[in-house]
Structure 1
Amino acid sequence: MKLHEYQAKGIFADAGIPVPESRLASSVDEVMAAVEDIGYPAAIKAQVHVGGRGKAGGIKIATSEEEAREAAESILGMDLKGYTVEEVLVEAGVEFKNELYVGVTMDRAAGKPVAMVSTEGGVDIESVAEETPEAIAREHIDPAFGMHPYQARKVCYEAGIPKEVALDVASILTTLYDLYESKDASEIEVNPVMITEDDEVIAADAVMNIDDDALFRQPELAEMEEETYEDELEKKAGEYGFDYVRLSGNVGIIGNGAGLVMTTLDLVDYYGGAPANFLDIGGGAKAERVTQALDMVFSDDNVDAVVFNIFGGITRGDEVAKGINEALESFDEIPKKVVVRLAGTNAEEGMEILNTELVEVETTLEAAVQRAVKNAEEANQ
């Protein structure tokens, strides 16, 4: 679960991390009232769950009433990487001489949390990690003991943090780790930590993502969760409870199980097709579930053909076939050709039950994928 910047900063402030004065606003009038209270310069920042807001025009600095109004009018309601901006954070501007990066995340290879500090703040830390990894100092933390103060000081020293602010930066890092642990975060960072001319350290940004599986013990954070989707298809997938990712191709893919869907996706690519989506409907492919899945892929204008790859485990293949028949019969007109491959428990019985007037049937996954790719090619001719 992703927190908005204003939500994360509220948590940071409560924990003692210095953050700029700010107000949340959802209209131009509210923005103007906020900057009147806060003063100039002021940063007006889109509150959406995406990175790179500044480069996309979602963050603007206003030094006058006219600039503040123009920024509010341009940001509120804008489409920012597929998200509509409904709220902005109006924040006091910070005069700074240096920008740092401070964060904690899980190093899955090491099996431990890792604290990271860099003097290359204010830019995408992923780019820094890829292009100049030596610019990021790292310190792994034993979760059984937590972060020791000396570890925070050590990683700041290795990153080359100026001695005038090193202890303050180490304090921020220690607090971030405490929040990472106590709030069940999967990632927590400040980019940038701004250093003022007076050597004050201020968290000018805030990123905090929470482990979904731990929300049951974080009721206050769970109340902050909101459903945001990049488009109507993702919204529909959320309503249906599907694991769904939209891709750029034209072959719709439906399967029960993430591994099975990934295999199908790879085969579509292997046989010269282009996958349109990843859609895992999970176990128990009954008629309603199948209907919802087909509604998903049929609603995607990019899809020209569909391949349905089902493995019958606890759910028998004949029951799945009945579900597919019932689902397709519910459509007045089947808009795109559907190829079905069944395997597993009672697969042969299921293949016999499938209505071949509604679907094309193949006994192997390879053959099903090849036919779906061919159907998609023919639909474009």
Structure 2
Amino acid sequence: MRLHEYQAKRVFAKAGIPTPAAELARTVDEAVAAADDIGYPVAIKAQVHVGGRGKAGGIKLVDNAEEAREAADEILGMDLKGYHVDKVLVEEAVDFANELYVGVTMDRGVGRPVAMVSTRGGVNIEEVAEEDPDAIAREHVDPAFGMHDFQARKVVYDAGIRREVASDVASILTTLYDLWEERDGSDIEINPLMVTEDDEVIAADAVFNIDGDALFRQSDLAEMEDEAAEDELEAKANDYGFDYVRLDGNVGIIGNGAGLVMTTLDLVDHYGGSPANFLDVGGGAKADRISNALDMVFSDENVDAVVFNIFGGITRGDEVATGINSALEQFDEIPKPVIVRLAGTKAEEGMEILNTDLVQVEGTLEDAVQAAVAAAEEVQA
């Protein structure tokens, strides 16, 4: 579960992290009143679960009531990367000297949480990690002992943070780690953490993602869940009982078993494609479940081709084939190319059932992925 910025900031402020003065507004009049109350200039920020809000027009700086009314009227009700904006955060604008990044996540490669600090705040940290990984200082933490003060100071100094603010940044990082651990976080970050001319540090943005499986012991956070702001496809997947994550690519992926799906994602990337999703139908999936999975991936307008990777154990190839046929036969024209790789239990029977006028069947995973990537590229051409 992902908290909205305003919700995350409330959690941060309660834990002692400095945040700007702010009020939530759901109407234009409320936004103007909040701006008047806080004092200009203010930022009016769309509260939706997407990145890049500023570039998409979802964040505006205003200097007076007229500008506040105009900005709120423009942002409220807008469609921001597929999300409807029904509330804005009206927030004190902070004059800053520079912007930092601080965050904590799980490094699954080593099986430990990692604290991260960078002087390259205010930009997409994933891009920084890819283009200049040395710009991000990292410190792994033993969860049995938590983050020690010396570890926080070390990673802050490794990042090149100025001595005048290093202690405050280290304290904020320690607080973030404590929140991440105590509140069952998956990711927590401040980007940017602004440093003012007077060397004050203020959390200008906030991200806090909670492990959805742990909400039973985080009842106050569970009450903050905003189902209306949930990705429509992810909500649909939840209704179907699928493990689904929406990604940014155009090759839809359906498989049975998390490892199998992850392998397929890696191969799509390896062969020059871009995965559109992670969708695990689970073991023993019947025809109707397969049909629902395909229907769901088809409903993602970013998908240009779909690849099935099914290895039968308790999942039977004939059931999978029946489900694929059922989903495709409802269309007068197949909306997107579908490539299928079946192996394992009842795979041969499944191959015979599949309507090859509707799908492309490949014998190996590598061939299936390459065919899907090529089909997606052809659609884009």
Mapped pair 1:364 → 2:368: no
* Structure 1 residue 15: Cα displacement: 0.8
- The corresponding residue for 1:95 is 95
Aligned residue pairs, count: 377
Identity of aligned residues (%): 71
3-state SS, counterpart of residue 116 of structure 1: strand
Question: Does the Cα contact within 8 Å between 1:244 and 1:280 map onto a contact in 2?
Answer: no
Question: Is the Cα–Cα contact under 8 Å of residues 165 and 201 in structure 1 kept in the other structure?
Answer: yes
Give the conservation status (yes or no) of the 8 Å contact 2:42–2:90.
Answer: yes
Q: 1:234 to 1:36 in 2, by over 3 A?
A: same
SS of 2:143 mapped into structure 1:
coil
- C-alpha RMSD over aligned residues: 3.9
1:182 aligns with 2:188: no
**Residues 333-372 of structure 1 correspond to what in structure 2 (within 5 A)?**
333=332, 335=334, 342-351=342-351, 354=353, 356=355, 364-365=363-364
Q: 1:286 to 1:333 in 2, by over 3 A?
A: farther
Structure 1: how far apart are the matches of 2:270 and 2:171?
51
Shift of 1:90: 0.6
- Per-residue displacement from partner, 1:178-218 (whole Å, max 9, x unpaired)? 11111121222222223334433222221212223333322
Structure-2 separation of matches of 1:299 and 1:174:
42
Deviation at 1:272, TM superposition (A): 10
1:274-289 equivalent positions in 2, closer than 5 A:
279-289=279-289
Q: Residue 308 of structure 1: CA displacement?
A: 4.8
What is residue 143 of structure 1 aligned with on the other side?
Answer: 143
Distance change (3 Å), C-alpha of 1:360 and 1:121: closer
* 1:45-86, Cα deviation, whole Å (9 max, x unpaired): 111222222233222221111121122122222232332222
Q: CA deviation at 1:108?
A: 3.3
Query: For each residue in 1:109-162, what CA deviation from the matched residue of structure 2 results, as whole angstroms up to 9, or x when unmatched?
Result: 443323233333333333444444444333332222212223323333343433
Aligned residue number for residue 104 of structure 1: 104
Task: Determine the structure 2 residue equivalent to 1:239.
Answer: 239
The alpha-carbon deviation at position 89 of structure 1 amounts to 0.7
Q: Does 1:166 align with 2:166?
A: yes
Shift of 1:256: 2.7
Q: What is the SS of the residue equivalent to 1:49? A: coil
Q: Report the Cα offset of residue 303 of structure 1.
A: 6.9
CA contact (8 A) 2:119 2:135 kept: yes
**Secondary structure in 2 aligned to 1:101?**
strand
Distance 1:171 1:376 in 2: 48
Match of 1:85 in 2: 85
State the alpha-carbon separation in 1 of the partners of residues 154 and 269 from structure 2. Answer: 47
Distance 2:152 2:266 in 1: 44
Written as runs of structure 1 = structure 2, the 5 A alignment for 1:120-131 is: 120-131=120-131
Q: TM-score, normalised by structure 2?
A: 0.80
Q: Is the Cα–Cα contact under 8 Å of residues 298 and 335 in structure 1 kept in the other structure?
A: no
The separation in 2 between residues aligned to 1:147 and 1:60, in whole angstroms, is 37
Give the stretch that moved more between structures: 54-63 or 309-318: 309-318
| Residue matched to 1:221 | 221
Moved more, 47-56 or 278-287: 278-287
Relative to structure 1, the CA distance from residue 27 to residue 342 in structure 2 (aligned partners, 3 Å threshold; closer, same or farther) is same
Residue number in structure 1 paired with 2:73: 73
Cα gap change, 1:248 to 1:69, in 2 (>3 Å): same
Q: Is the 8 A contact 2:339 2:362 kept in 1?
A: no
**Shift in Å, 1:294:** 3.7
Match of 1:290 in 2: 290
Q: 1:294 to 1:180 in 2, by over 3 A?
A: closer
Q: Secondary structure at the match of 1:52?
A: coil
Q: Where do 5+ consecutive residues of structure 1 fail to align? A: none
Per the TM alignment, residue 4 of structure 1 is displaced from its structure 2 partner at its CA by 1.2
Distance 1:170 1:100 in 2: 12
Q: Distance in 2 between matches of 1:207 and 1:28?
A: 25
- The Cα shift of 1:27 comes to 1.4
What SS does structure 1 have at the residue aligned with 2:19? coil
Residue matched to 1:53: 53
Contact 1:32-1:68 at 8 Å conserved across structures: yes
1:27 equivalent in structure 2: 27
The 8 Å contact of residues 35 and 90 in structure 2, kept in 1 or not, is answered as: yes
- CA deviation profile, 1:297-352 (whole Å, cap 9, x unmatched): 554667787665533211334444555566667x3757468666543223344455
